[in-house]
Structure 1
Amino acid sequence: MTTPPVVDGHNDTLLRLYGTDDPVAAFTGAVEEPTTHLDLPRAREAGLGVGFFATFALGDDDHELRWTDDGYEFRIPDALDHEGARETTYRMLELLHRLAATADDFRVVRSVDDFDACLDSGDLGAIAHIEGAAGVAPDCSNLDFLYAAGVRSIGPVWSRPNAFGAGVPTKYPSGPDIGDGLTDAGRDLVRACNERGIVVDCAHLTETGFWDVAETSSDPLVATHMGVHGLAPHSRCLTDEQIDAVADSNGVVGIGFFDMVLSDEPDPEATATMADIVDHIEYVADRVGVSHVVLGSDFDGARVPDEVGDVTGLPDVLAALRERGFTDDDLAEVAHENWRRVLAATW
């Protein structure tokens, strides 16, 4: 049995590298003790072909945990200053290109041809993603520059407000219908992304925002690192109706590996298992078909189950799916074919 090359829909490795003294050494494996979930040598070992590498602007405020009668919630962080977020976005994109210039077998993916070349050659490809578009000008005036810099995927919001809309708060138990949706600028951003061939990522949107994207976008719907609300009633999880809408658009739901969202527990420190990951993937496959579920680990952005550990756990995820009854053809779809279909339709 062979393991197909994997496309992973979300990581925050650039954020982890951004604050290190020597990010190139950390990414290329020239350090004794890795501090990230993902670097180039381990990605090669794992069979990772392409990953969505996120730029992400942090704020000064932290996530204040509040206990509720039946669970917990985190205070929504304040909105970011656009100028500061723009600078951080640009600098992380600079870092991504510096890494690609340093490592011969690491490249920025700008097209389906680039995508295919990475899967065929064994090189690691990076799709540049912006998580929470605070660094995008409210009038989209820098969007062409960002496209020229390789950006091919944008999530309009993270779990904080910005000019484009409201992010969903982190809350358990809760549905995702807690907060406003897209602003007029947010709808304009969706249309501008459609025009240029940029994926619009529905992760971190409220349910209202999700439906705003569904009504505005002409491309397949994508939610890169999520969970299933039918298994874990968390605000970051998609409802059955949302999953159905993604499938109806010929899009994909990316299942994240993060403990907190996969766990049906009223505790933000709860741990999840490999079986939980498989349960969420299987739920989507059973409901709308295996053609509409993919992987979206959130490596370097969340705690992941010990059975996964880091990027080298990707083959174990596929092995666990095989044990659950997924065929080789199913695994190829989940691993990379579904992503290729959506990117070919969008780019």
Structure 2
Amino acid sequence: MTPVFDGHNDFIQRVVAAGQDGARIWLEGDGTGHMDLPRMKAGGMVGGFFAIWIPSPSGPNDAEAVALMQNPPFALPLPGEIPHDAALPHAFRQAAALKSLERTGTLDIVTGAAGLRRTIAEGRIAAIMHMEGAEAIRDMDALHLWHGAGLRSLGPVWSRPTAYAEGVPFAFPAGPDTGGGLTDAGKALVRECNRLRIMLDLSHLNEAGFDDIARLSDAPLVASHSCVHAICPSSRNLTDRQLRVIADSGGLVGLNYASSFLRPDGKRLPLEGFETMLRHLDHLLDILGEDGVALGSDFDGALMPRDLPDAAALPKLTEAMKNHGYGADLIVKISSENWISTLQRTWGG
């Protein structure tokens, strides 16, 4: 079975929501969501980025929004900014939930490339503490505190504004050129993340913010869970120009499995088969090369394709890559090695 290291999941919100049952859901599963330890093991998933993320009062999973997204064109308004004092307690709960999974002995929160490889070799899940939207970071002192707690990856925004940058709305057809660039605080955040070697994630960021990070950052540019705008013209997807900028930095894009970001019609309906996913992968490979393409599922945060409903089904994706003509070495790169090597170059060591 091909090992899979994944660029993005929202599982720890399920742990928080489950309260005292969180560890049991991780260890045994509860028949809901897209991943847990048994399904990860069944699918060959050896680790990934576990996102700390603050839900908005309303968002793209609400019934009214889902109905609009099933019938493009649509343009959902950006949710409002969440104040730091409201975000921080929830972010702490999610970080504590991830720590609780570590105490089960089945998962390690990894902070360096050597530890990541060691955890995988010893059969535990390698978890990167990631923050999707920096509302819980008041200032650079707080960034250092989060780094001390294990934070090694940060996306300045989800699809709403923060004190640092602006996200893109959920819209189709639409491009990412919406809103302004990084704030002064956002530019300081980029510089401090570079100093601390915290990976910066460009997914969800608007085009002006993307370009600002590209100018300021000295690390490989990474979009952890994004798709190809030329195939699916969603505001959340990356244009060919953006893909070339990432390629020029020696960076990486993790393919998002969310059906509405893969389907050429943009509909929030389950994608059928693997042909469209393979079109996205082919396009990414053409621009980024064999070392710049990976996987970024968005498990537990999006509507999955019908044939890839959860982590246990990952061998179907790698088999589809093989049947499409990808060689064994390329499949391993896309499935895990490209993430690990990019993290090593970002983190050092």
Normalised TM-score (structure 1): 0.94
Matches within 5 A, 1:186-225: 186-225=186-225
Structure 1 residues 241-267: Cα deviation after superposition (integer angstroms, max 9, x where no partner): 111111111110111000111111153
| Aligned counterpart, 1:158 | 158
| Contact kept in structure 2, 1:72 and 1:266, CA below 8 Å | no
| Aligned counterpart, 1:172 | 172
The code of the aligned residue for 1:170 comes to: F
Number of equivalent positions: 341
| Aligned counterpart, 1:35 | 32
| Contact kept in structure 1, 2:87 and 2:136, CA below 8 Å | yes
After TM superposition, give the deviation of residue 89 of structure 1 in Å: 1.0
- Structure 2: distance between partners of 1:186 and 1:332: 35
| Aligned counterpart, 1:116 | 117
| Contact kept in structure 2, 1:174 and 1:233, CA below 8 Å | yes
Asked if 1:61 corresponds to 2:68, the answer is no
1:273/1:187 CA distance change after superposition, 3 Å: farther
| Contact kept in structure 2, 1:7 and 1:336, CA below 8 Å | yes
Asked if 1:4 corresponds to 2:2, the answer is yes
| Aligned counterpart, 1:294 | 294
The code of the aligned residue for 2:179 comes to: G
| Contact kept in structure 2, 1:72 and 1:268, CA below 8 Å | no
| Aligned counterpart, 1:18 | 16
| Aligned counterpart, 2:46 | 49
- Structure 1: distance between partners of 2:177 and 2:277: 23
The code of the aligned residue for 2:3 comes to: P
- Structure 2: distance between partners of 1:332 and 1:70: 36
- Structure 2: distance between partners of 1:61 and 1:314: 31
- Structure 2: distance between partners of 1:76 and 1:185: 21
Q: Unpaired runs of 5+ in structure 1?
A: none
1:39/1:302 CA distance change after superposition, 3 Å: same
- Structure 2: distance between partners of 1:201 and 1:227: 14
1:70/1:55 CA distance change after superposition, 3 Å: closer
- Structure 1: distance between partners of 2:120 and 2:220: 22
- Structure 1: distance between partners of 2:59 and 2:134: 19
Asked if 1:346 corresponds to 2:342, the answer is no
The code of the aligned residue for 2:98 comes to: L
Matches within 5 A, 1:315-326: 315-326=315-326
After TM superposition, give the deviation of residue 278 of structure 1 in Å: 1.6
| Contact kept in structure 2, 1:258 and 1:303, CA below 8 Å | yes
The code of the aligned residue for 1:60 comes to: P
Asked if 1:87 corresponds to 2:89, the answer is yes
| Aligned counterpart, 2:183 | 183
The code of the aligned residue for 1:325 comes to: G
Identity between Structure 1 and Structure 2 (%):
37
| Aligned counterpart, 1:274 | 274
- Structure 2: distance between partners of 1:73 and 1:163: 23
| Contact kept in structure 1, 2:259 and 2:305, CA below 8 Å | yes
After TM superposition, give the deviation of residue 270 of structure 1 in Å: 5.9
- Structure 1: distance between partners of 2:54 and 2:123: 31
| Contact kept in structure 2, 1:5 and 1:119, CA below 8 Å | no
Structure 1 residues 132-166: Cα deviation after superposition (integer angstroms, max 9, x where no partner): 111111x2221111111111000000100010011
Provide the aligned C-alpha RMSD in A.
1.7
| Aligned counterpart, 1:129 | 130
Structure 1 residues 64-104: Cα deviation after superposition (integer angstroms, max 9, x where no partner): 6468x9611111101001011111111111110011102x2
The code of the aligned residue for 1:250 comes to: G
After TM superposition, give the deviation of residue 196 of structure 1 in Å: 0.4
| Contact kept in structure 1, 2:272 and 2:307, CA below 8 Å | no
- SS of 1:178's equivalent in the other structure is coil
Q: Unpaired runs of 5+ in structure 2?
A: none
| Aligned counterpart, 2:76 | 74
- Structure 2: distance between partners of 1:177 and 1:335: 30
Normalised TM-score (structure 2): 0.94
- Structure 1: distance between partners of 2:34 and 2:266: 26
| Contact kept in structure 2, 1:278 and 1:317, CA below 8 Å | no
| Contact kept in structure 1, 2:269 and 2:303, CA below 8 Å | no
| Mean Cα deviation higher: 85-94 or 199-208 | 85-94
The code of the aligned residue for 2:113 comes to: V
| Aligned counterpart, 1:261 | 261
